[in-house]
Structure 1
């Protein structure tokens, strides 16, 4: 239910693992094994697509029985797909796209190529649309594409070859999808089949790795696979599934074994900062920290970075929108926080620059923010003992270097995921499961950063259209007139589009949203619970957030806020 914005990048997790303890024949067997496995599973999946098409063709207007049968067929088809997803998603991404692309237009940057919504997610969106009966022709066309593509999948194996390292990496990436996408309902938010899909994916991994594992040894890959499959299979209800227990007790120990490392997805070192956009010039972190508080960088020498990004306020300013440098006007957008800003492929709410160095330069040159003249700034700095001889490139690089240190990973949640099971209260754990489940928060705020970095490669930044109102009155909402990314990329699908920020430290950084419209978390949750802009009565044709109400209870909302409080870093200033 979102579109993709593609950026250059690489897989940023350490996905080189030693699963096999010997070389030669065993490695060849793993490569051969994936081919044999796919040959067995492909006809099963192809038949599931045929059954889905049959039930779609049998849809009758007003007949709820035929609609429920079609939805059940879709569920079975999705589960079957997840049995081969690790193979297709890694080795044949274009075919995987046909089956499981988001149910919205995809936009490939910088070429601005549009891709029509297609596949299982689009069928889900249509089957759950109130006007479902009017979509029968499109549903039939979508199903036919699935059937034809699924039946031809066997041709992919012609002259196919893969190394054991590639197969291993495909399994690694699938485990990350299980932890961050499947159990959160990312690609089946209405069907809520994510737990069963995760079980199918883990069974596929288990089948692939069984010949190489000690079947009796506890604390082994086999042990955690079996324990995870058991939990997913015996607790299939999406809303009540205990995701935190699954992660801590099964998935993360399994990942550490697969990585042959003490690190996992929630380790502070899991995502490498140096793969995100940055300039080649090396910055001085200590110098950058001094410059962060240096008012000489502004045109009238009255404002520093810390004026608006106050460390004691978790690098925000606590205002709905700050004022311009002269104080004569209000800035157009809410001041975003800087914590974890290094883990992004674009900066600013509209993503108009990529690197932190570019962000520093843009803010300094903005007439409303710093209004800096380069020659004047350099003249001032060169007359100060700490900055003699400094260049503007060094200013930008050093400030960016300092910003890259602002990633504490020191919240109660981080301690819990690292093994301290007493770090979270029962209410916070319940809230975490709602965040990653019924509340659908984690379908846009992806673990472990809880921002718009899309797993499993974390090489794309997501933008969303939420339909945020101009003010916090949800009963009589007024449309926000900010065009968002449209002003930077003038294409219709970007109207009202904004980058998905991290929700780490959100409990202490009110107000919220790009315009600061919501004063507290209760208002934010209420907005999402009602289905975003469309849900509260605004007309947002390109909204990427589902307009279906979440049906959260008061108790669940309270628990969700408790979990958000557990994402607060203990001492961000020290970092």
Structure 2
């Protein structure tokens, strides 16, 4: 059964872009019609009823199904509008203005949350108002899509993004707080992707084999989705490895053979996704320069090598006893194994646990409290912090100027620097370049998902391989880990555009056996985030190499993965008995059994992804 929603009209043009625009317009009419019905029902009475609630739920479910036919393009063309349409049902701060203004949640998820879980008389007007807002957003974005220039390259990139969206967000229930129709929506998204890919097949000569391959993948992928009953028992591993990754690769092949330009051929601007990569589970899939201060900066091996020298140089600290490697030891995935890192002064410790630097460049915010937006800024904080390097750039510059090797390298790499001065900008630039080189998506999980051949002496065969696969399915499904730790970084970098970082409030205790909340208020302690909605919110870290990065959490409270799994299985802080009004982690117990916990840990252990050159 196909869930592609067709209309009785057909566009006059056979141009793919015209046909897609026509479909978007028709689907917009369908969605607006459904929203008008919802507005009428919500306004029919000031008192809620079970019949009214049931009807609203039925209509909103249909809205979601129709929306999946246009979501892929809206997300790519106007990501900010997409957040208004289907963003998380949580209050947020407006970060575009200097004052602290809390924005109430709006869009499909906000409406879904109310009509499912909080449908009371006093909320019926809110439902009506939110539905009116949603209707206007849908109309506005349709007008945008009908009028702006869209290229074939952008369409193909957006379709590949949609494949990522299906298995990172759609199938994990990340964008649906209570409706249980993720599989139905995934079928809709999957088939609409296939429909529009096939529009581009005629651009390629001798395309019969490619058309057969793509049609076969789409058909088998749809059948696979239909066979599953719930997302808890869904086989994410098989769907991703057998259907999603192959289709993603075939679209790239189509793109290359069609003569349509690739992104790097039309722009020098760094973007996070490398659309020339066959899969996102590879070290070349993401561009570590994407979030550098200069978005046109090119990666430099010379700067990296200079940064590497500086990384291990104790001259950066006041007492000549600390280097970056003191807290970021490469032998343990660039962490230090301490609950909280030792400070430069005797008996002192840093405020929080030291995170890994591997893949840390793939982030839009840095530090647990997300207080900085660039690696260069993060380095400056470490230099000035009295507990860490406890110095300043003038002192460091003076010291480095006395090092002949560093002086010569600086002059060679930065020939246009003012009077060949070793400035703060040059130091942070080189260090940041080295950190941006610490990218790795070469874990056993990556290799297995890509279908790489595994050495016969590897442990990833037979029963052990099954445990890893089953653990991944628990991670993405029943345990809901994948709703915050998104593939492929397994961090809070949000797919499918990977242009924003999430933070969560999970209720970490002050001690492993305590029922008291850790006093660190996280993001709320940063001036620009100083609001109660960010109390105890922390950046969602990546969990690659997690087997090497103990202890865990921002305060290093847990020493084993078993403790971490138990914490989440119990429902976070609230599950432990901690009173926390704004916990974003679901407080319900996951009810993982012993085998599921063991497999989950097996999977996480298989995420060890070391860097080759440090």
Is 421-430 or 381-390 further displaced after alignment? Answer: 381-390
Which residue number corresponds to residue 468 of structure 1? 508
Which residue number corresponds to residue 156 of structure 2? 168
Which residue number corresponds to residue 555 of structure 1? 595
| Preserved contact between residue 307 and residue 433 of structure 2 (Cα < 8 Å) | yes
- 1:408 is displaced (CA, Å) by 2.5
Which residue number corresponds to residue 581 of structure 2? 541
| Preserved contact between residue 370 and residue 523 of structure 2 (Cα < 8 Å) | no
Which residue number corresponds to residue 110 of structure 2? 122
Which residue number corresponds to residue 184 of structure 2? 196
| Preserved contact between residue 351 and residue 485 of structure 1 (Cα < 8 Å) | no
Q: Structure 2: how far apart are the matches of 1:215 and 1:76?
A: 36
Q: Tell me whether 1:511 sits opposite 2:551 in the alignment.
A: yes
Which residue number corresponds to residue 219 of structure 2? 226
Which residue number corresponds to residue 184 of structure 1? 172
Deviations 1:61-91 (A, max 9, x none): 9987876665455433322221221233344
| Preserved contact between residue 350 and residue 498 of structure 1 (Cα < 8 Å) | yes
Q: Which ranges in structure 2 are unaligned for 5 or more consecutive residues?
A: 1-10, 202-206, 254-275, 411-421, 455-459
Q: Within 5 Å, which residues of 2 pair with 1:361-372?
A: 361-372=380-391
Change in 2 beyond 3 A, CA 1:147/1:551: farther
Q: Within 5 Å, which residues of 2 pair with 1:45-194?
A: 45-49=31-35, 71-91=57-77, 93=79, 96-111=82-97, 114-129=102-117, 135-146=123-134, 162-194=150-182
| Preserved contact between residue 21 and residue 145 of structure 2 (Cα < 8 Å) | yes
Runs of 4 or more, structure 1, over 6 Å off, are 25-28, 54-66, 130-134, 151-154
Q: Structure 1: how far apart are the matches of 2:208 and 2:134?
A: 38
Q: Structure 1: how far apart are the matches of 2:434 and 2:13?
A: 44
Is 344-353 or 46-55 further displaced after alignment? Answer: 46-55
Which residue number corresponds to residue 494 of structure 2? 454
Q: Within 5 Å, which residues of 2 pair with 1:41-440?
A: 41-49=27-35, 71-91=57-77, 93=79, 96-111=82-97, 114-129=102-117, 135-146=123-134, 162-213=150-201, 220-260=213-253, 263-278=278-293, 284-388=303-407, 391-393=422-424, 394-420=426-452, 423=460, 425-440=465-480
- 1:342 is displaced (CA, Å) by 1.2
Which residue number corresponds to residue 526 of structure 2? 487
Change in 2 beyond 3 A, CA 1:256/1:65: same
| Preserved contact between residue 59 and residue 67 of structure 1 (Cα < 8 Å) | no
| Preserved contact between residue 60 and residue 66 of structure 1 (Cα < 8 Å) | no
Alignment match of 2:18 (pick from 32, 43, 56): 32
Change in 2 beyond 3 A, CA 1:396/1:76: same
TM-score by length of 2: 0.80
Which residue number corresponds to residue 4 of structure 1? none
| Preserved contact between residue 347 and residue 359 of structure 1 (Cα < 8 Å) | yes
- 1:127 is displaced (CA, Å) by 4.0
- 1:100 is displaced (CA, Å) by 1.0
Alignment match of 2:539 (pick from 482, 496, 499): 499
Change in 2 beyond 3 A, CA 1:376/1:532: same
What SS does structure 1 have at the residue aligned with 2:352?
coil
Q: Structure 2: how far apart are the matches of 1:480 and 1:336?
A: 19
Deviations 1:329-388 (A, max 9, x none): 232111111111111122211222222222222212211001124444344434445334
Q: What is the Cα-based RMSD across aligned positions, in Å?
A: 3.3
Which residue number corresponds to residue 5 of structure 1? none
| Preserved contact between residue 156 and residue 197 of structure 2 (Cα < 8 Å) | no
Q: Within 5 Å, which residues of 2 pair with 1:518-537?
A: 518-537=558-577
Q: Structure 2: how far apart are the matches of 1:337 and 1:477?
A: 27
Deviations 1:294-337 (A, max 9, x none): 22221111111111111111111111112321123232111111
Q: Structure 2: how far apart are the matches of 1:375 and 1:276?
A: 26
Q: Structure 1: how far apart are the matches of 2:197 and 2:32?
A: 24
| Preserved contact between residue 55 and residue 73 of structure 1 (Cα < 8 Å) | no
Change in 2 beyond 3 A, CA 1:163/1:370: closer
Q: Which ranges in structure 1 are unaligned for 5 or more consecutive residues?
A: 1-24
Q: Structure 2: how far apart are the matches of 1:239 and 1:207?
A: 28
What SS does structure 1 have at the residue aligned with 2:164?
helix
Change in 2 beyond 3 A, CA 1:382/1:167: closer
| Preserved contact between residue 400 and residue 406 of structure 2 (Cα < 8 Å) | yes
- 1:148 is displaced (CA, Å) by 6.3
Q: Structure 2: how far apart are the matches of 1:31 and 1:348?
A: 42
- 1:489 is displaced (CA, Å) by 1.8
Deviations 1:87-132 (A, max 9, x none): 3334455654443121012334242564321122112323443786
